[in-house]
Structure 1
Amino acid sequence: MSFDDLSLFDLSLLGWTAARVSALPVGTVPARVARVDRGAAEVIAADGTHHVRYGAQVRRAAAADPVALPCVGDWVALRPLAEGRSELAAVLPRTSSFMRGGVSRTSRAGLSGDGQGQVLAANVDVVFVAEPSMHATDFADLGRIERLVALAWESGATPVVLLTKSDLFENGLDDLVSDVRAAAPGVDVHAVSSLLGEGVGLVGGYLAGSRTAVVLGPSGAGKSTLVNALAETAAMPTQLVRAADGRGRHTTVHRELIPLPGGGLVIDTPGIRRVGLYEMTDGVDLVFSDIDELSRGCRFDDCDHDAEPGCAVIAALENGELPERRLTSWRKLQREAAWMATRTDVRLRKERQNRWRQIHKEMRRSGRNRP
C-alpha cells in the first residue's frame, strides 16, 4: 500500500479515535505525521497526503523544547491556508512517545547534552527491538536489548524483542532465545528470518487492526528487510552487511510511517548506535524485575547491592543465581537514569529562572511607561 492510496481509507485505519477530537483546535482537521523534514512534515489526512510547514505556535514550542517538535507517528492539527495549502498548527497530545535523552542544540549523542530529549516515535503501541541473532564476530548484545526494552517500557508501549536473521544462526538458537528472555523478563522474544518468511506472520499479529509499531535496533539488524516483508513490497531500501565485520550501513536515513496491507502501521528507523535514557521512572525496574524481586530479601530497604551485609542480590550473584553481567548492566542504567534526572532538573530550573527574568523585565518596562 502506498500513501497515494490512503485517500480511500478512513483515518481510523491509521489509529484515529473519537477521543482525540476534543484536542483539535477550532478550524483545523486531523492528520498523522508520516515523515519529517527540517521545518516541515509529510502528513496523511482524510483527503490524502500533504507536505506542510510548521506554524508559528509549533515553531515557538519547539524552540523552547525539542520534545515539542513533530515526529513520525504524531497526530497533528492542520489549518487551511490560501491557495489550497495548509500549515501544521499544533501537535496533539501523545498517548505514548519513545524518547532518547542527551539531545541539545550543541550535542546530539550520548550523555553530553543538557537534559533535553528527542522523541523518536509517537503514539506507538508496540516497540519491536530488533537484534541480529549473530554478527560475523559476536552474538546478540544483551546490554543493548536491556537498554532499548527499558526505554520501550518507559514510552508507554509494549516491547517485543525480535532476533532477526535467524537463518544465519546455525547452532544454539534456542539457548540464545532463553538468554534474551532472561535479559528481558516478561517480554515476548521471537526468532525471525525475514528472507525466509519465518516468524513474519507472528510479528504482523501484533499490529492487528490499526495498531502502530516502531522497529528499533542497530544498523544491519534487518529492520528494513522486516518492514518490507510486513508491507509485502520494497517499501524501504536495504543493503547487505559488510563481510569484514558484520556491521550494517545506515540504509534507512529517516524515520517513516508505513501502512501495512493487512492492517496496522510500522515505523522504520535509522540504525541506532547508542540511545541515552531520558526521565526514566519505571523502565529500568521493569527490565530488571529479577533484581527487584531479589532485593526484597535484603536486610536493608535502601540497599545499594554493593557491599552491604545481608544483601540478597550479592548472595544471588555469589551462588550463580544472578549473572554478573546482569548486575553490572543494572548498575550502569541506574547511574545513567539518575544522571539524566539531575540534568533534567537543571534544565527545568534554568527555564523557570528565564521565565521569571522575562516577567520582571516586563514589569520594570511597564513601570517606566506609566504616566
Structure 2
Amino acid sequence: MSKLNKIGWEFSSHDVDEERIARVVTVQKNRYRVTDGENDFLAHVSGKFRMNASQSLDFPSVGDWVIVDKLPQEQKAVILEILPRKSQFIRQAAGGKTEAQVVGANIDTVFIVNSLNQDLNLRRMERYILSAYDSGASPVIILTKKDECTEEEIRENVAVVEGIAFGIPILTISSLTGDGISELLDNYLPSGKTGALLGSSGVGKSTLVNKLMNAEVQETKSIREADSKGRHTTTHREMFFLPNGALLIDTPGMRELQLWEGEAVLDTAFQDIETLEEECRFADCSHRTEPGCRIKEALDSGELSTERFESYRKLQRELAYEKRKQNKKSMLDEKHRWKQISKEQRHKYKNMR
C-alpha cells in the first residue's frame, strides 16, 4: 500500500507527481494542516491561488486532495491547487453573507448523528438528509446514547426515524458500552474509506470519535439536563485516522443547518411525498382545494404527517429563496467585475495619451 492509499487515495492515475499530492487534515481560518501519508505539514495557499479564488468554495476544505510545494526542513507546505472533488458537503455560511461553505470534501459516507434522548429532532434530520444526498456521499443515520434508553424507547425512536429516512441505514450505538461500534466499522467505515460526522452539539459526535480512536482525542462536555441540548466542544473541522485504516472527519455542531442547494435531490429525500404527488388527479395540484388530491387524502387519514408535509413545503420555499439570492449575488458580482474592467481600461487609455 502506497502512502497516499493510507490516507484514502482512490485515483488510478493523475498527471501530477504523487510526491506533490497531500490531503487536508485540518482547517482553522486561513491555516491548514496537510499530510502526504508519511509527514504532516503546516500549509497556506499561494499568492496566485488566493488571487484566482473568487469565493469560499474555491479554498481548501478538510478532505481535499491538493498539490503542494513542500518545505521539509520547516515542516511547511504551500498549497498550489485543489484536485477535483468527488463529493462535497456544502452549507450556507453563517452570518448575513450569501456564500457557500464546504464542510468536508471527498467523503464516502455522511454519518448523520442524533441522540436517542429527548433532543431527537426529525425536522433537523430531514435537512441533513437532503444535504447529504446533495453532497454526492451516501447517508447513514447514527442514533447514539443507546445505553440511556429502554429497548421499547429505542424501537419507538427507530420507527419514527424510519418514517423520514427511506432506504437509509439506521444504526443505534452506545459509545459508552461499545454496542454497535463493530457494525459501524465493518459495514460503513472500512479501511481506506472516508466518513464525516454531522449533527448538532451534544449528540455524542466527540465521544464517538474518542471511542473509534481508542483515545481521548476530542474534548467532551455533558448536556444540559433541562432540555438535553448540548454545548459546543469541537471548534474546527478535523480528519482523524482510525486504527482500522479508515478516515473520519469531525465537524463543529450545527444546530441549524442553512441549506445552499438541494432542489435536485428534494424528491429523493422526500420520496414518500413525491410519490403521493404523482397520484394527484391534476399534475399542477397545489394540494389545497383541488378534487382528487392524494396529498390531502394522506394528510386527512394520517398516512402523511402534517409536520413532515410542512417541513417539505418550508424546504421548497427556502431553496427557492436561496436560489434567488444566489442569482442576485451573481448579477451584482458580474456588474462589479465589468465595472472594474471598465475602470482599468479608462486608466490604461489615460496613461497612453
1:322 aligns with 2:281: no
User: Of residues 322, 334, 343 in structure 2, which corresponds to 1:352?
Assistant: 334
**1:4 match:** none
**Residues 145-156 of structure 1 mapped to structure 2, 5 A cutoff:** 145-156=125-136
Q: Does the CA contact (< 8 Å) of 1:152 and 1:283 recur in 2?
A: no
- For residues 39 and 174 of structure 1, do their structure 2 counterparts lie closer, same or farther at Cα, with a shift above 3 Å needed? same
Q: Does the CA contact (< 8 Å) of 1:128 and 1:214 recur in 2?
A: yes
Q: How many Å apart are 1:348 and its aligned residue?
A: 1.4
- For residues 338 and 31 of structure 1, do their structure 2 counterparts lie closer, same or farther at Cα, with a shift above 3 Å needed? same
Task: Show CA shifts across 1:35-76 (max 9, x none).
Answer: 0123220111144000012211332344x2111121111111
**Residues 1-371 of structure 1 mapped to structure 2, 5 A cutoff:** 10-19=3-12, 21-22=14-15, 24=16, 29-62=20-53, 64-80=54-70, 84=74, 85-101=76-92, 103=93, 108-109=94-95, 112-114=96-98, 116-134=99-117, 138-170=118-150, 171-205=152-186, 206-370=188-352
Number of residue equivalences: 350
Q: Does the CA contact (< 8 Å) of 1:58 and 1:68 recur in 2?
A: no
Q: How many Å apart are 1:92 and its aligned residue?
A: 1.8
Any gaps of 5 or more consecutive residues in structure 2? none
Using the alignment, how far apart are the partners of 2:351 and 2:292 within structure 1?
A: 69
User: What residue identity is the alignment partner of 1:365?
Assistant: H
Q: How many Å apart are 1:169 and its aligned residue?
A: 1.4
Q: Does the CA contact (< 8 Å) of 1:215 and 1:266 recur in 2?
A: yes
Task: Show CA shifts across 1:7-49 (max 9, x none).
Answer: x961112111335623x4x897111111012322011114400
Using the alignment, how far apart are the partners of 1:277 and 1:20 within structure 2?
A: 34
Using the alignment, how far apart are the partners of 1:233 and 1:184 within structure 2?
A: 32
Q: How many Å apart are 1:245 and its aligned residue?
A: 2.9
Q: Does the CA contact (< 8 Å) of 1:207 and 1:263 recur in 2?
A: no
Percent of pairs identical after alignment? Answer: 37
User: What residue identity is the alignment partner of 1:16?
Assistant: W
Task: Show CA shifts across 1:245-294 (max 9, x none).
Answer: 32221111111100111121001111111111112232322111000011
Give 3-state SS (helix, strand or coil) of 2:310's partner. helix
Give 3-state SS (helix, strand or coil) of 1:308's partner. coil
Using the alignment, how far apart are the partners of 2:63 and 2:207 within structure 1?
A: 20
Q: How many Å apart are 1:197 and its aligned residue?
A: 0.6
Q: Does the CA contact (< 8 Å) of 2:206 and 2:219 recur in 1?
A: yes
Q: TM-score, normalised by structure 2?
A: 0.93
- For residues 179 and 361 of structure 1, do their structure 2 counterparts lie closer, same or farther at Cα, with a shift above 3 Å needed? same
User: What residue identity is the alignment partner of 2:97?
Assistant: G
- For residues 261 and 314 of structure 1, do their structure 2 counterparts lie closer, same or farther at Cα, with a shift above 3 Å needed? same
Q: Does the CA contact (< 8 Å) of 2:3 and 2:36 recur in 1?
A: no
Q: How many Å apart are 1:196 and its aligned residue?
A: 0.8
Task: Show CA shifts across 1:206-264 (max 9, x none).
Answer: 12231111101111101011112222222212222223332221111111100111121
Q: How many Å apart are 1:362 and its aligned residue?
A: 3.3
Q: Does the CA contact (< 8 Å) of 1:73 and 1:121 recur in 2?
A: yes
Q: Does the CA contact (< 8 Å) of 2:119 and 2:228 recur in 1?
A: no
User: What residue identity is the alignment partner of 2:4?
Assistant: L
Using the alignment, how far apart are the partners of 2:18 and 2:116 within structure 1?
A: 50
- For residues 28 and 58 of structure 1, do their structure 2 counterparts lie closer, same or farther at Cα, with a shift above 3 Å needed? farther
**1:3 match:** none
User: What residue identity is the alignment partner of 1:165?
Assistant: K
- For residues 231 and 299 of structure 1, do their structure 2 counterparts lie closer, same or farther at Cα, with a shift above 3 Å needed? same
Q: How many Å apart are 1:83 and its aligned residue?
A: 5.8
Greater alpha carbon shift after TM alignment, 140-149 vs 304-313: 304-313
User: What residue identity is the alignment partner of 1:330?
Assistant: Y
Task: Show CA shifts across 1:68-95 (max 9, x none).
Answer: 1211111111124596542111222211
Using the alignment, how far apart are the partners of 1:323 and 1:360 within structure 2?
A: 56
Give 3-state SS (helix, strand or coil) of 1:221's partner. coil
- For residues 14 and 318 of structure 1, do their structure 2 counterparts lie closer, same or farther at Cα, with a shift above 3 Å needed? same
